[in-house]
Chain A
Amino acid sequence: MTAPLLNIQGLTIDFGDTRAVDDISFALHEGEAVGIVGESGSGKSATILAALRLHPAGTTITARALSFRGQDIGALSDSALRDLRGGGMAMIFQDPLTALNPLMRIGNQVAEVLIRHRGFAKRAAHVQALRLLAQVGIAEPELRARQYPHEFSGGMRQRVMIAQALAGDPALLIADEPTTALDPTVQAEIVRVITSLRRERGMGLIWVTHDLALMAGIVDRVLVMKSGRIVEDAAVDDLYRAPRHPYTRALLTARPGMTAP
């Protein structure tokens, strides 16, 4: 069997004296979609930032294994790490209002990833960026590519973030609560865009959220995190049918208008 796409074994993360993540292990295979669910402060975001080595200064990370396609992420050189970020794994952030460079044209922000990771020349990168913007459902990409982020709505900016993340043709897409900051109708649109593009490209996906009900139809498997530990790791259907951990049951019932089966 080939090495998993992302392999995390015995990952522990400390912010100073506070333990954010406590000895967690999971592996994700090529093309697999995994959801990480938990309340705020359960260590979800810390885990995925550690996978990209984007953790803030003052964080201590220890792991028995932290590898991407068998490559030890901790041992990568700075330039190899930059190849991995965007080229191997790309990330979509929670708040699209703050995650784009406010002073750079939208087209350039997508194009720079194409130039960096796919070796496009400047002109070709812009043409390809328009194609990507159209793929994520942005109408009139020629016009929109010349605009700045403040001329875009939240949902539109999140589409740009997706286009930017896909530009490097990553094998794994990490989405950190990509719909939390958006209106419910826009949320559904973004979910649709991400899931369909993922199937098209056979990308792996990690979807981080605190909304367990959202996971059905997006991911194959769900990890439930609580206080820095993984308390349940189950296929998404099993989880809905028979949640084993009391915390999972609590999460399922916590949503207004939903009851545990």
Chain B
Amino acid sequence: MKPKPGHTKVFWFFFSKKNKTEASSFVPGALGAVLFALVALCAIAAPVIAPYKPTTIELRQRLMPPAWEAAGSSRHLLGTDNVGRDLFSRIVWGARISLSVGLAAAFLGAVIGSALGLCAGYFGGAVDTVISWLIEVQLAFPFTLFAIFLLAAFGGGFLPVVCVLALATWVNYARVVRGQALSLRSQDFILAAQSVGVGPARLLRRYLLPSVLPSIVVVGSFSAAQAILTEAALSFLGVGVDPTIPSWGAMLNLGRNYVQSAWWMAIFPGIAIAMTVLGVNLLGDWLGARLDPRAR
């Protein structure tokens, strides 16, 4: 389940014109921003929004269907799980884990991947050979398996999960950035900067990095989406951040056992994951188009 760059572009191709003018990318961009803002709001204001604590157990209220079902109650909007915890509250709290892990992993991956990609593309030669080899090794690994192994061996927790996910996403950046740096390296403005004595450190930071930043943002958006999905998968498999903190993946796993009798337990966390990933992707595509001053 690896999202490919621009797969939302393919999706929106049917709704918008091929060229990304401001008008045609605005609607999906705004939708993405709204979705992302909703999730971010849930994550930040979880104690205010959630009507219950995510860990409050009410055994008499267990397996209550959503409020609009005949057996539902207005006290539990999205129903309750097998031990009577309010599903809506758990999903709101779960946004914290998904978003913080996803964004932190995408950011850490961006820092590592962009730095390596820039160096590989700009310096070429042996530096490029080594970094390209690392990229290929990373891509050849069945990543989820590797992540399970690492987390099972060294234990879970927020930081280990973020690091493992960054390990999954850095290649996305490195590949794209390396390719762009390679083509930028021979452009006139780089040559002109060299001709007035601009050194490599400054060239990388002030000339190449700003030029590849829009791509980094786009890659970052789908990498964040990928990290959110993988975090959910890891929680689903029980090697996630922390089993006592509600996480969408863990909720999905729990709901799996009740799909026949209590569909809401699996469906709503699933919808939350899907909407977050869609929102992040749409927002990233739109930002990528906006960030390039030459495209304005």
- What is the interface of chain A, defined by CB distance below 8 A to chain B? 52, 54, 56-57, 79, 82-87, 90-91, 93, 95, 98-104, 112-113, 116-117, 148, 150, 161, 164-165, 167-168
Contacts and interface: CB of A to CB of B under 8 A. Distances in A.
Interface of B: 124, 186-189, 191-199, 202, 206-207, 210-211, 293-294
Contacts of A103: 210-211, 293
Given A98-B188, A99-B188, A101-B189, A112 B202 contact: yes
A86 B195 contact: yes
A164 B196 contact: yes
Interface of B is mostly: helix
Contacts of A85: 194-197
Contact of B191 (A86, A93, A104): A93
B197 to A, nearest CB: 4
Contacts of A113: 196-197
Nearest to B296: A150
A42 to B, nearest CB: 20
A98 B187 CA distance: 8
Counting chain A CB atoms within 10 Å of each CB, the highest count among B195, B198, B202, B294 belongs to B195
B206 A104 contact: yes
Contacts of A99: 188-189, 191-192
B196 A90 contact: yes
Which 8 pairs show the lowest CB-CB distances between chains A and B?
A86-B196, A86-B197, A103-B210, A98-B188, A91-B195, A82-B197, A99-B192, A85-B197
B169 to A, nearest CB: 25
Contacts of B207: 101, 104
Nearest to A100: B189
A161 B193 CA distance: 10
Contacts of B198: 82, 86, 112, 116
B213 to A, nearest CB: 8
